[in-house]
Amino acid sequence: MKPDTLFDETFLRKLERLAIMSRRSMSGQLQGERRSTKRGQSVEFADFRPYATGDDFRRVDWNAYARLERLFIKLFVEEEDLSVHLLIDTSKSMDWGIPNKLWYAQRAAGALGYIALAGLDRVTVTGLGGPDGNGSYFPPHRGKAAAYDLFTFLQNLQSGGRTDLAPRLRSYSNKAALPGPLLLFSDLMDAGWADGLRSLASRRYEITVLQILSPDEVDPDLSGDLKLIDSETNSAVEITADFDLLARYKNNLTDWQTEIRRFCTARGIHYVPIVTSLPFDELLFAWLRQYMVLK
């Protein structure tokens, strides 16, 4: 798929009606299109306060002075941009399923990244993994003109290697500046997911975890004697896929996702389980709005 066909123009126009939700005000560097509770110098009046020594006389409300013979300073709603962080698990386990989990994550990240760019927020993308284990990095960009570069970057992401979420997320939390909304796209099939999220939660990120699984991982259609091979470690296990085993598998999956949800809830993290059979339009215009990721 070519970068300019990741989404068609009609779909991009629909995306521009959405916005990434921010659950608290962030300190942006540039005035963007997102309102903050801070009071600044934009064009929309918000309130006033008494004049204090050193205030800018250009902000004095002279009409109020004429009526009350007291000096007041005009306050305006300050609109700020956000730094939106998109982290994509590109380990080998993500290159699986129909529809493919990594492809689904790439499209989801592209859509959310475009929404942020259209809202004049800064967008940065990091691939966690890849064939060389070092991942890939898309530095901060702002504005819709960067959409082509964003889509090109996402489509060039390659899967490979092990997940290793704990050290990768710890490293990101230590290096990344300008905390803001952070969206992690991963199947979380790594024992270090909790330690990794704990590292991110220690910073001021507004974290959303989008756990992406394929239909055959949620409801496997298996039977008989099989040898299952781990796509990342090549370790093998022999099983007999009968009714009891599949029932235990589904119960364990439910318990695991319940554990993830509780872990995230306790730390103010949004947890969004996704199966790649979910139609993409429904993901963006219903599912993520229901989970208050988009508005």
User: Given pLDDT bands bounded at 50, 70 and 90, which one contains residue 130?
Assistant: low
Structural domains for the chain? 3-21+81-290 (3.40.50.410), 34-79 (no CATH)
> What is the rounded CA–CA span in Å between residue 162 and residue 234?
11
pLDDT at 2: 42
Whether pLDDT at 181 is above 50: yes
Q: What percent of the chain has pLDDT over 90?
A: 53
Whether pLDDT at 70 is above 70: yes
pLDDT at 132: 57
45-66: pLDDT as tens digits:
555 667 666 666 777 888 887 8
Report the predicted TM-score, pTM, of the whole model to 2 decimal places. 0.81
- Alpha-carbon torsion (253, 254, 257, 263), positive or negative: negative
Q: What percent of the chain has pLDDT over 70?
A: 82
Pick from 106, 176, 166, 116: which is nearest to 141 by CA?
Answer: 116
Whether pLDDT at 8 is above 80: yes
pLDDT at 267: 94
Residues 6+ apart with CB under 8 A from 124: 83, 84, 85, 86, 137, 138, 139, 140, 141, 176
Average pLDDT, the chain: 84
Whether pLDDT at 115 is above 80: yes
Q: Among 18-22, 24-28, 44-48, 125-129, which stretch is predicted with the lowest mean pLDDT?
A: 24-28
User: Given pLDDT bands bounded at 50, 70 and 90, which one contains residue 24?
Assistant: low
Q: Are 21 and 289 in contact (CB under 8 A)?
A: no
Q: What does the pLDDT average to over 99-115?
A: 96
Query: Angle at Cα 83 formed by Cα 172 and Cα 105, nearest 5°?
Result: 65
Q: What is the DSSP letter of 91?
A: S
User: Given pLDDT bands bounded at 50, 70 and 90, which one contains residue 38?
Assistant: very low
77-94: pLDDT as tens digits:
444 567 899 999 999 999
Q: What does the pLDDT average to over 142-167?
A: 90
